[in-house]
Structure 1
Amino acid sequence: MLNIHFIVNPIAGSGKHRLSETLLQHYFEPQNYLITLKTSEYKSHASELTKASIQQHADIIVACGGDGTVNEVASLLVGTTIPLGIVPIGSGNGLANNLKIPTHLAEALEIIKKNQPTMIDVGCVNQRYFFSNIGFGFTAKVIEHYAASEKRTWRCYLKACYKAFWAYYKKETVVMVIDDNIELRNPFLFFISNSNVMGYTMSLTPKASLKDGLLDVLIVPNISRLKMMYLGVLLLLKKPHALKEVRYYQTTALNITQKGAPIFSAQIDGEWSQTEAKSTLVALKEKALNVLV
């Protein structure tokens, strides 16, 4: 009998998902599956629930939510033999999009039922895991505004982009140094990706792969507002590299030092994060997580 634990974020996306114990029992026959459904109640609660599920010898642990929920659950499964299942009921669903896991509930559950795992790479920033991407500059500011919104919808995301766009030139001077040889003064965007999808099917790194053992790095220096808008169009076309100022390369690790601002702000898998650390080490663990696809 397969022991499957579902960790559900009840407010993910619109908060109107149909996931329930009754529904799960309809898809997973009681004679073959032991189903446990757990609901998170606050930030980081999904991590606590996952720890308990590991101790309860779950065979599969399923993250039901957006990229933030997936990050909390998956971070505890890195380096273990327990596969991660994903039911994408969040707003962006970047990792699920990359793995071609459908948002249609029945189809997502069918993937879990088939139980066919694959190994993917995992990013690490100062000992914290990420699975899709991390971003500094504009993307971090967007997520800061997005986190403050009452709902997690596409409309709220666009509003967050608008606020970040007009606030960009009002911030204090920040200098970022990468691996002691690249110095960026007030970079518009500094993006490190393990996946080729950010969320809402958008991509800054369309060539990125979860299985190539490399991180994709995209840097956009301080540019005019007109070029910011042009980059926005290229983003929708999935051709950000067409902007001549864009610098793009691949690496297995990089060290970032910040000068100027007292707080290091970033978005990590779509969640806003702050640290007072002046130096950030970003690295990759190859084939460190089992995911059902």
Structure 2
Amino acid sequence: MTHIHFIVNPIAGKGNNNIGLDLLEAYFDTNLYNIVIKTADYKKHAIKLTQESISERAAIIVACGGDGTINEVASCLVHTSVTLGIIPLGSGNGLASHLNIPKNIDKALQLIKLQLTKQIDVGLLNKDYFFSNTGIGFDAQVIKNYEASNGRTLTSYIKAALKSLKKSDKLIDVETKLKGHIINHRPFLIFISNSNELGYKVSLTPKASLEDGMLDILIVSKLSVIKIIVFMLLMALKRHHILKEVSTYQTENIKITQKNRPLFQIQIDGEFKMIKSRTIEITVLEKALNVIA
């Protein structure tokens, strides 16, 4: 019998999902599957629940929520034989979109039932895993303002971005090492991506792949407010790379050292985080996670 556990974020998808035993038993024969549903009631709770499910010998653990919930569940499954399933219930759903996982719950369940798996790369920032992207600078400030708002919609992201414009001149002074180069700069944005989508079909790294063993890096140097607006408009059109201030790289690792304080404000898979360190090292772990896609 296959043990399949569902870790559900009850407030994802406006809290109106109907993931319960009645629904799941319609897809998974109880003679073949042992179905367990667990509810993640607070931030980081999904980590504890996933660890419990691993000890309970779950073969498949399904993250039901947004990119934050998926990150918490998937982080426990790196370099294990347990397979990750995803039912995308969040606002952006960037990772699920890259993996062609439907937003429709019924279709996502049909995909999980097929159990067509692949091995994907995983990003590692110091000791934290990421599966879609991470970044410092403007995008981290956008996520910080987004989390402080009450909304979880595209409009909320836009409002957070506009609010972040007011502090866009407060840049950090860093040294960036990648591909044998050392760059001393005060960047508007350093974006490190494992997948090709932020969410809402928006992408800063359209050529990124979860299966190439590489990280896609986007570095944007200091911009005026007008240039920032131009950058955002071009980003919506997937033409932001034409700006002279934009540089792109592919690499297996990148090291960023902050010169003026031992603290980084960073976003990891769309979640804001403070890292108390003067240096962050980011690498890629090839084929480190089994996922249904």
TM-score (norm 1): 0.96
- Deviation of 1:261 after TM superposition, in Å, equals 4.2
- Deviation of 1:5 after TM superposition, in Å, equals 0.2
Q: Secondary structure at the match of 1:168?
A: coil
Q: 1:8-46 CA distances to partner (integer Å, 9 max, x unpaired)?
A: 111113222221222111221212211100000111000
> What CA distance in whole angstroms lies between the structure 2 residues aligned with 1:55 and 1:24?
22
Q: Does the 8 Å CA contact 2:264/2:274 hold for their aligned counterparts?
A: yes
Q: Does the 8 Å CA contact 1:6/1:36 hold for their aligned counterparts?
A: yes
- Deviation of 1:262 after TM superposition, in Å, equals 4.8
Q: Secondary structure at the match of 2:103?
A: coil
Counterpart code for 1:258: Q
> What CA distance in whole angstroms lies between the structure 2 residues aligned with 1:240 and 1:210?
22
| 1:79 maps to 2:79 | yes
- Give the counterpart of 1:177 among 175, 178, 196: 175
Q: Secondary structure at the match of 1:198?
A: coil
- Deviation of 1:217 after TM superposition, in Å, equals 0.4
Partner of 2:137: 137
Partner of 2:25: 25
Q: Does the 8 Å CA contact 1:64/1:88 hold for their aligned counterparts?
A: yes
> What CA distance in whole angstroms lies between the structure 2 residues aligned with 1:73 and 1:82?
11
- Deviation of 1:155 after TM superposition, in Å, equals 1.7
> What CA distance in whole angstroms lies between the structure 2 residues aligned with 1:143 and 1:62?
25
Q: Secondary structure at the match of 1:91?
A: coil
Unaligned runs of 5+ in 2: none
| 1:102 maps to 2:102 | yes
Q: 1:156-187 CA distances to partner (integer Å, 9 max, x unpaired)?
A: 11111111112212x3x5211112710112x1
Tell me how large the CA RMSD over aligned residues is. 1.1
Q: Does the 8 Å CA contact 1:135/1:189 hold for their aligned counterparts?
A: yes
> What CA distance in whole angstroms lies between the structure 1 residues aligned with 2:90 and 2:236?
20
| 1:271 maps to 2:271 | yes
Moved more, 93-102 or 176-185: 176-185
> What CA distance in whole angstroms lies between the structure 2 residues aligned with 1:229 and 1:41?
38
Partner of 1:36: 36
May I ask how many residue pairs the two structures share in their alignment?
290
Counterpart code for 1:33: Y
Instruction: Map 1:139-288 onto structure 2 (within 5 A).
Output: 139-169=139-169, 171=170, 173-179=171-177, 181-185=182-186, 187-288=187-288
- Deviation of 1:143 after TM superposition, in Å, equals 0.3
- Deviation of 1:248 after TM superposition, in Å, equals 0.4
Q: Does the 8 Å CA contact 2:77/2:83 hold for their aligned counterparts?
A: yes
| 1:128 maps to 2:128 | yes
> What CA distance in whole angstroms lies between the structure 1 residues aligned with 2:162 and 2:227?
15
How many percent identity over aligned positions? 51
Q: Does the 8 Å CA contact 1:145/1:160 hold for their aligned counterparts?
A: yes
Moved more, 160-169 or 246-255: 160-169
- Deviation of 1:242 after TM superposition, in Å, equals 1.4
> What CA distance in whole angstroms lies between the structure 2 residues aligned with 1:103 and 1:41?
22
> What CA distance in whole angstroms lies between the structure 1 residues aligned with 2:231 and 2:183?
22
Unaligned runs of 5+ in 1: none
Q: Does the 8 Å CA contact 1:175/1:259 hold for their aligned counterparts?
A: yes
> What CA distance in whole angstroms lies between the structure 2 residues aligned with 1:52 and 1:240?
44
Q: Does the 8 Å CA contact 1:14/1:91 hold for their aligned counterparts?
A: no
> What CA distance in whole angstroms lies between the structure 2 residues aligned with 1:290 and 1:41?
26
Q: Does the 8 Å CA contact 1:5/1:38 hold for their aligned counterparts?
A: yes
> What CA distance in whole angstroms lies between the structure 2 residues aligned with 1:10 and 1:166?
34
Q: 1:165-217 CA distances to partner (integer Å, 9 max, x unpaired)?
A: 12212x3x5211112710112x1111000000011111000000000000000
Counterpart code for 1:211: E
> What CA distance in whole angstroms lies between the structure 2 residues aligned with 1:144 and 1:269?
12
